[in-house]
Structure formats: structure tokens, C-alpha cells
Structure 1
Amino acid sequence: MSLRKLGFLTIGLFDEADPRRGHESTLEIIQLGEQLGFDSAWVRHRHLQFGISSPVAFLAAATQRTSRIQLGTAVIPLGWENPLRLAEDLATVDVLSGGRLNPGVSVGPPMHYDDVKDALYPDTKDVEDFSYRRVRRLLDAIGGEQVSTFSGAEGIEEFSPRVQPHSPGLLGRMWYGGGSARSAQWAGENGMNFLTSNVVAATDASTDFDEIQLDLIRTYRKHSPEGRVSHGFVVIPTDSATADQRARYEEYAAKRATRFGTPFGPRRLLFARDIVGTSDEIAEQLHANAAFREVEEVAFALPFTFEHEDYVQILTDMATKLGPALGWPAG
């Protein structure tokens, strides 16, 4: 397949002493992405870290600084969320954006749950449901299902039995971020689009990252032939980079390379290798990747710890060099 949609993903890193500067920098990067013709901009979700902790609120600001680019979350961990309240927030931001929001979500207990559960769920910490049913609750609320048995007038106030505002197209732009065959199947069966990234779960049969990712995509398509699939990992084009930038990029990738090839942690996670090089070199590697050849959309992840000027250079090369090398029809 040829590349039809080009997107990028950022963590929105900030300095604890000056958080506004980091958030403003990320908003400027998204504005630049729109100017360069990117189809989508995605933000990561980081709780109790120095990255975007409230992507829905952040994207509300981004809707007012952009007019065309699609805005996504990759991903909101639903273990931290009340699905009904999140549905209200998502629908509100989608309305503000003119129908450009692409929420990506995932399930499972919050990271370091034992350390945060007393603050997060002091009265229900032992009975919270972190399964796919939490996603189903969110989808039903976004889709307009009844969430209250009361509706109608009460004095001068009018009440609705479903989430308001209701944004009819939002349900079709919901994504599930998954790294296992079970998640790929569930997303397909439940009408969600599928986000696959630079992290997958090793299987009993394989620890080959590319082989597992290809299987995830095909598993999803088996259950949702018309659903959208987006592929994402870290690529760093160096076409217009300075010598100093190239050296820092290569050092960054080399440090992260130590985690590749071996399953990590109790979930046996595998990580893709970052790709640093000219756009032609990156395109050659991607065209040789069977999983990449299966998709028409990408959301390339920006490295976590680079400077604003680095992101400007990387995005500019992605849009003007790498995208065209991958067959992307810019604009």
C-alpha cells in the first residue's frame, strides 16, 4: 500500500519550573505540522510525569490554533478515567474542533497502581473494572446511548438522558492502542480503529517484533476489513540536520538500542528499533518492513527529550523529504 496519511506524535515534554513554556512549544509544533501539510498530530498521555497529563484539555487549545489537521490522543489510559465524564470532554473538544478529534484509548490498571490507588480510587480501589468493558462504556456514551434514567424539564432546566454535546461522527474516529492479538481482535470486533506502535507483546511462538506486528495488523483486519490502521514508531530524518543534531540523534538511538530484541517486564514487551538517517535511507528500511507495507497511515513519534528547534527540523524533513519518499501525497 502507498502512504495516504502522514502524522506525528509528541509527548509534550515540559520543565517542572516552567510548564507553560513546554505546552506552548508543543502547540507551536502542532501549528507547524498543519502548515507543513501533515494530516494528523497526536499527543501522548503522561500521568505524574513531565509530559502532557491532560491531552483532552490540551487539544481543546490546539483546536483554536488550527483549522484542518486531525488531532489525536495516543493513548488515554482508561484506568485513570470515568468513561461517562471522558465522553463529555471528548465530545466537547470534537465540537470545538469541527469534527477533527481522533481519541485513542487503552485499558488495564494504571501504571504503578499500588502507589496511586489510594489517591485515585480511595473507596473503590479494589473493585474497579479495568477490562475492555471500560472502553465499551465510553463507546456507548459517545454513541448516544442512555446514561441517565431522568430526562425532561425540571424548573427552568432541561436534562438529557444521553451525553451532551452529542457529536455524531466521533464514534467512527475512536481508536484502540494495542500490542497484543487479543487487543487487535477486540478493537476490530467493536468497531474501533487500531493504533499499532513501537511496542508489542511477545508471544509464546515469537519474539520477532516485525513478525508480531504484522500478525496484529492482519488479526485486526480479519475482524474489521474496513477499519483504519495507523502505524507508529520513532524515525529521525537527518536531511537538513546540522552535524551536532545528527550526533545527538544517533546517540539517542544508540542508548535506546539496548532495550531491543529481548522481552521486557511481566508483559514481555518488545520495542522496535529507532531509525536515524536520511529520508531515502529511512524510506528504504520502511519499504522493506512487511508490517509497514500493510498500512496507509502513520504517526511517527518524536523523540522525548529533544529541543524545539530539533522538532522543527525533523518535522520539516518528514513533510518535505520522507513523506514524498514514502509515496505520501502532501497536502
Structure 2
Amino acid sequence: MTTPRISLFLVPAALGDPATEYASALAAAERAEALGLDGFWIAEGQLSGIATPSGLAFLAAATQRTRTIRLGTAVIPLAFSGPLQVAQTAAQVDWLADHRLELGVGKSNGGGFSAQAFAAHGLDEHDREAVYADALARLRDLLEGGGLPDDVGIYPATGTLRRRIWQATSSVATAIATGRAGDGLLLHRVVPGVPGADVGGVQRTLVDAYLDALPDGIEPRIGVSRVVVAADSREDALAAIDDDRARRPHLLADGRSVGQYVDDANLHVGTPDDVVRSLLADPAASAATDVLATTVLDPAGDAFARSLELLGTRVAPLLRSTLADARRVTPQAIIASILR
């Protein structure tokens, strides 16, 4: 894909005021569409610090507040939702959205992040790989029209949802399996458990493995999540992040400076030009078909509103055009220019 899609990705924090959290997230989806962004993705987390335990339930509401923007789940942990339930609910949301749904699924975050959710569902977190593999196979079968008695079927029809599955992973093996299946690949903003890692370099290995496994004729779909805090200056961006400690003090609770946190957590901050340069230097983000720009700012705050405005009006157009131009420089294009 020559021109990448740029989307807003929200991870609403569960801070005790769900009415405000949901209202500001829905307003952000509307604003993202008005600014010309390509997609709006929502995180899902059960028994965690995430305010949206069901991404599909939230997106059902967003279908009635938007008209054109793609709507994605990032991601549904299949261990906690039965495949039949996911297939039926996703089909319903897709029809409500006029077929704008992007179905992101995953194993859930490891390393103990989802341990309580696994225990609450009567599962062992150590079984997450096997549970995911079984659930994904069942979901795929259901979306393809199988897996049910001959006299029953999913209503409403699942249509082309099977071709809009995205798998989130940090595993090379899963990236290869994702490519072989022709699914989209979703990559996290950090390398789990490795603060300050070269995220783009590590994930470029996953991207290459995915592309090598992709069948001929299947268009790649590579979604890369990155924190973007755009402002009128780098100082303003850092100040906005610093101010956010009052809302989420755990971000800098270990005594790190704002600058150290930006580096360790792989944040892309500053003016629109700063942000674009930073993303272009990221080997995975620069290879993405879809850049999912997330935030550490309060979606109800002024700093977030300004960052979103700059994302839509300056970062996205510049990133799209720069990457599109770079991707047109193929060996064939170079030969053609020499022969002119």
C-alpha cells in the first residue's frame, strides 16, 4: 500500500468517571472523522486499568456518531469472549457501521497484565497461546459460514468480516501465522517487558516475517501503534505529558524525568515536523500500512484536543505524502527514470 492510513487509537483510562470517559472518547471519534483521519480504534481490557471492557459495545455507540471513519478493536482478547459471541456481535456492529468494522483480536497482554482476568474466567494465563489458537480457529470458521448446524446461521450475515481480521502479537511465530492466514498484523507501541528497547528495530523483524509468509496476491495490512503527542513546540508537548502525572501518576512514579519517560515508552512528541521525522526513523512505523496514533493525554483535556487537531491537519497529511513518495521509489521506478 503506497499511502498509509492514519488513525486515532484510544486506550481510555478507568479513573472512576465512566460517563466522562465514554463521552470524551466518543467525541474524539467524531473529531477524528471531521479532521479527515482514516480510522478510530479502541482498546479493550477486562479487570485492568482500561475503561472499555468491551470494544465492540463501545464501537456500537460510535457507529451512530460517525459516518465514514473505519472503526477498529485493538484488541479483543479471545480468551475472554466466546468465538460465537464475538462473531455475532461483530457482525451486528459491522452492519450498524455500514461495514466499516476492523476486527482486531489477540491473546491478551502477557507478563501478568491479564492474570486477574484469566483467573476470573477460570483459565490459566500460561495456557494463553493454546486458548487463543483454538478460539481463533473457531472464530475464523464461524465468519466463513461454518461451525454451526446446517439449519442455523449467524444473523446478521458476517459478509466480508473474515477478510478484516487483524492479529496483535509480539511473537515472530504468530506474525508468520498471521501472514499465512492473510490477516492484518497489529504491533504494540513498546516491546513488552523491555523499557527503552529499539521498538521499531525489533518489530521490523516481525513485519519482515509477516511479509515473507503472506500469500501472493494478498495485500499487506500492517498496523503499528505509536504514542503521538503533537504540540506547537516540543516544550509544550513535554509540559502536557508532565501535567498528566496528576491524572496517571504511575507514569513517572519511579522518578524518571519526562524526557526519560518519552525515550523509555517510545513516545513521538513535539511539533508536527518533529513527530513525522520521529515516525519516519522508526523501521516498523515507516513500513506500516496503518499508523495507529495513541496518546497518554486526557481525551477531555485541551492538550489532547490540540494534539488531535495537529494530528489531523498536519501530521497525517505530511506522513501520508512523505511515505507515499518514498514507497514509489521502487527499482522499476529508478530504472524508468534513468531511461527517460
1:275-308 Cα distance to aligned partner (Å, 9 max, x none): 2111111212222232222223211112154643
- How far is the alpha carbon of 1:316 from its aligned partner? 0.5
Quote the offset at 1:107 in angstroms.
1.6
Aligned counterpart, 1:120 = 121
* CA distance in structure 2 between the aligned counterparts of 1:61 and 1:140, rounded to whole angstroms: 27
CA displacement at 1:44 relative to structure 2: 0.6
Q: How many angstroms does 1:173 deviate by? A: 1.1
1:219 maps to what in 2? 209
CA–CA separation in structure 2 for the residues paired with 1:113 and 1:281: 35
TM-score by length of 2: 0.79
Alpha-carbon distance in 2 for matches of 1:132, 1:73: 19
Structure 2 vs 1, CA of residues 313 and 181 (structure 1 numbering), >3 Å: closer, same or farther?
A: same
For 1:95, the equivalent position in structure 2 comes to 95
Deviation, structure 1 residue 209: 2.7
Q: Which residue of 1 aligns with 2:53?
A: 53
Secondary structure at the counterpart of residue 163 of structure 1: coil
2:23 counterpart of 1:24: yes
Superposed displacement of residue 179, structure 1: 1.2
Q: Give the match for residue 303 of structure 1.
A: 296
**What is the Cα deviation at residue 235 of structure 1?**
1.5
Letter in 2 for 1:296: T
SS at match of 2:296: coil
1:111-260 aligned at under 5 Å gives the runs 115-117=116-118, 119-121=120-122, 129-147=130-148, 149=149, 151=151, 160=152, 162-200=153-191, 208-224=198-214, 226-239=219-232, 246-249=238-241
Q: CA deviation at 1:104?
A: 0.6
- Cα distance in structure 2, aligned partners of 1:88 and 1:39: 25
Distance 1:125 1:311, change over 3 A: closer
Which residue is equivalent to 2:281?
A: 288
In 1, the alpha carbon distance for the partners of 2:306 and 2:170 equals: 30
* Counterparts of residues 36-75 of structure 1 (less than 5 Å): 36-48=35-47, 49-75=49-75
Structure 2 CA distance for partners of 1:314 and 1:55, relative to 1, 3 Å: same
RMSD over aligned Cα atoms:
3.1
The aligned counterpart of 2:82 is 82
Query: Counterparts of 1:108 and 1:13 in 2: how far apart (Å)?
Result: 17
More helix per residue: 2
Q: TM-score, normalised by structure 1?
A: 0.81
Cα distance in structure 2, aligned partners of 1:324 and 1:248: 23
- Would the alpha carbon gap of residues 90 and 198 (structure 1) be closer, same or farther in structure 2, given more than 3 Å must change? same
Structure 1 portions without partners, runs of 5+: 152-159, 262-270
Q: Can you list the C-alpha shifts for 1:101-126, whole angstroms capped at 9, x where unaligned?
A: 0011112588566645554238x999
Q: Which amino acid aligns with 1:146?
A: G
Quote the Cα distance in structure 1 between the aligned partners of 2:219 and 2:290.
14
Q: Equivalent residue of 1:183, what SS?
A: helix
SS of the residue corresponding to residue 320 of structure 2 reads: coil
SS at match of 1:130: helix
Residue 300 of structure 1: SS of its match in structure 2?
strand
State the 1:76 CA deviation.
Answer: 1.2
CA distance 1:107–1:245, shift in 2 (3 Å): closer
In the alignment, the residues of structure 2 paired with residue 64 and residue 239 of structure 1 have an alpha-carbon distance, to the nearest angstrom, of 33
Aligned to 2:107: 107
- The offset of 1:228, in angstroms, is 0.8
Aligned residues between the structures: 304
2:108 and 2:269 map into 1 onto residues whose CA distance is 32
Q: Which runs of 5+ in 2 are unaligned?
A: 245-250, 323-340
Separation in 1, partners of 2:176, 2:157: 28
1:217 shift after superposition: 0.7
Change (3 A) 1:169 1:328: farther
Letter of the aligned partner of 1:318 in structure 2?
L
Q: Which moved more, 1:33-42 or 1:248-257?
A: 248-257
CA contact 1:79–1:109 (8 Å) conserved in 2? no
Q: Answer whether contact 1:257 1:273 (CA < 8 A) is retained.
A: no
Distance in 2, matches of 1:109 and 1:211, equals 21
Which amino acid counterpart does residue 311 of structure 2 have in structure 1?
Answer: M
